[in-house]
Amino acid sequence: MLTLQKPGHRYIVIGISVYAFELIVILLAQHLGASPVVAVGVSYWFGLVVSFSLHKLITFRDKRLHHRILVPQVLAYSLLVLFNFGFTLLVARLLRSLVSAVVIRSVALGITTIWNFYLYKTRIFKPDTGSGIY
């Protein structure tokens, strides 16, 4: 049974919610005339803002907002985002003639989800118990 007491379970629930949100954005963007690559790119950036906030505050229960904590987190997250975005567009380019934009985003998201959780837990949102800054 899925319990929201564990970060991994919260990560999955939030991830699925953001994924559903991104799929809606993809479908809406394509309905408005966007290509699959543009639709995936647009959904990625909208999902990013929601994802960072929910994972920081809910998944990892990191309520620290002091600039000495938040700025390095945002910078590390931004570097990861840029890498993930490039990876996502590469997947979109490689698979564009084989599968739909929804499948493309799903494949890329599945892959990045694994390394993101590890980096969030061990690097980006890991509490620095010695700093005293909360």
Contact 51, 116 (CB under 8 A): no
Q: Is 16 exposed, middle or buried (0-12, 13-18, 19+ CB in 10 A)?
A: exposed
pTM of the model: 0.71
Domain-located, residue 129: no
pLDDT exceeds 70 at position 1? no
- Tens digit of each residue's pLDDT (9 = 90 or more) over 79-129: 998 999 899 999 999 999 999 988 998 899 899 989 999 999 999 998 765
In a domain, 70, yes or no: yes
Domain extent for 18? 7-124
Measured between alpha carbons, how far is residue 76 from residues 45, 49, 101, 113, 134 in Å? 16, 14, 28, 16, 18
134 in a structural domain: no
131 domain-assigned: no
- Residue 87 CB neighbours (<10 A): 14
Residues 32-91 have pLDDT tens digits of 999 998 998 899 889 888 888 999 999 999 999 899 999 999 899 989 989 998 999 999
Domain annotation covers residue 14: yes
Task: Count the domains in the chain.
Answer: 1
Mean pLDDT computed over every residue of the chain: 89
